[in-house]
Structure 1
Amino acid sequence: MRVDPIKNKSTVVKIINELEKESERNVILFKIGIYTGLRIKDILKLKVKNINGNTLEIQQSKTKKYKRIQLNDDLRNSLKKYIEGKDKEEYLIKSRKGLNEPLSYTQAYRIIKKAIKKTRLKGNYGTHSLRKTYGYALYENNDLSIVQGALDHDNQVTTLKYIGVTEEEINKATMNINFY
């Protein structure tokens, strides 16, 4: 099933505020998704050792490509506080069941859906919305080729569809073209 990106920045902040009521772990889950564009499968397998100062390093599950992601200030500061005193082999997004088990995909989905539902956001959202939100936010201030590269897409048409750029947005941009 297709899911939507979260396009409104104030809605993203509302979701983070909802997640803060639950746990720091849930906030970190959400922030890693919206700030790195990693797929949920890769987020859930992250361990403390994948965080290296200002970067996050991982071999992606789907593409098998090694990726080194520069962390922005918000995510870097949140992670620094979150991993303080934790063992390098500890999962970042741990299940509350077991000693050192990653959170399940199903539980991650429930966490994200619950927080989004509380904001009364209309549309279809799930864990993959985090990656799409990253792509859309990147698109707002960058050339489409940057977004395409960040998401590892083969072509820009795929990227535009993926991040949910609508005909209305294209028309609005067209109306803003002015040569005088």
Structure 2
Amino acid sequence: MAEVHAIKDINQVTLISHLLKVRYSQQMSLVWNIGINLALRISDLLSIKFSDIQHDRVVLRESKTGKRAEIQLNPKVLALINEIRLQFPTHLYLFQSYRNQQSINSSPRPLTRRAVTKAFALVGEELNIRLGTHSMRKTRGYHLYQKTQDITRVMKMLRHGSESTTLSYIGITQEDIDRDFVELEL
């Protein structure tokens, strides 16, 4: 699997959302828009049930680490979740598979990681960028770092164990650090 990157240009973040909507579905665009705001791994994002959403927070146990994640939902995400809830009041999952609805006797399931990965990869090809499901998490981390310059804060948001892992993960390279030393004269 090829490494995917953070989307550093905010206009491209918006374009990706638009392309996912017109090329695939509103639901795929919602995965991107909510995912980029929650910074969860794709398996955790897709497994969110409406019962995991408590008032203005999503509370779950991360499948990879077993760590508890309690994430405050911003107004944009709350509005998107409420839209989904109004449109699909009987759904169990935030991103419930529509295909599964065709099988009357099967229990509800979320969208598959494979479907999201494929849609993201094809939009990435169209834009000539390495776009994948981890791009949402990396993008959130990158933009928080650019806004705050606080790697510890980003590390905590991503629930990483080390600063070096987080810097590498969000795409801050030695070249970026060198440029900061050259450009910032005190």
The correspondence of residues 154-169 of structure 1 with structure 2, limited to 5 A, is 154-169=161-176
Q: Which residue is 1:107 aligned to?
A: 115
Instruction: Give the C-alpha shift of residue 89 in structure 1.
Output: 5.7
Q: Which residue is 1:18 aligned to?
A: 19
CA contact (8 A) 2:123 2:131 kept: no
Q: What is the identity percentage for the equivalent residue pairs of Structure 1 and Structure 2?
A: 31
- What CA distance in whole angstroms lies between the structure 1 residues aligned with 2:81 and 2:124? 22
- In structure 2, relative to structure 1, the CA distance for the partners of 1:115 and 1:51 (3 Å cut) is farther
Q: Which residue is 1:9 aligned to?
A: 10
Moved over 3 A (4+): 85-89
CA contact (8 A) 2:34 2:80 kept: no
Question: Cα RMSD (Å) of the superposition?
Answer: 1.8
The match for 2:81 among 79, 88, 102 is 79
SS at match of 2:35: helix
Residue 59 of structure 1 pairs with residue 67 of structure 2: no
Instruction: Give the C-alpha shift of residue 42 in structure 1.
Output: 0.5
Q: What 5-or-longer segments of structure 1 have no aligned partner? A: none
- Count of aligned residue pairs for this structure pair: 177
- In structure 2, relative to structure 1, the CA distance for the partners of 1:95 and 1:85 (3 Å cut) is closer
- TM superposition score normalised by structure 1: 0.89
SS at match of 2:100: coil
SS at match of 1:125: coil
- In structure 2, relative to structure 1, the CA distance for the partners of 1:45 and 1:160 (3 Å cut) is same
Residue 116 of structure 1 pairs with residue 124 of structure 2: yes
Q: Which residue is 1:149 aligned to?
A: 156
Q: Which residue is 2:70 aligned to?
A: 68
Q: What 5-or-longer segments of structure 2 have no aligned partner? A: 102-107
- In structure 2, relative to structure 1, the CA distance for the partners of 1:29 and 1:62 (3 Å cut) is same
SS at match of 1:114: helix
Code of the residue aligned with 2:37 in structure 1: it is Y
Instruction: Give the C-alpha shift of residue 61 in structure 1.
Output: 0.5
- TM superposition score normalised by structure 2: 0.86
Instruction: Give the C-alpha shift of residue 164 in structure 1.
Output: 0.9
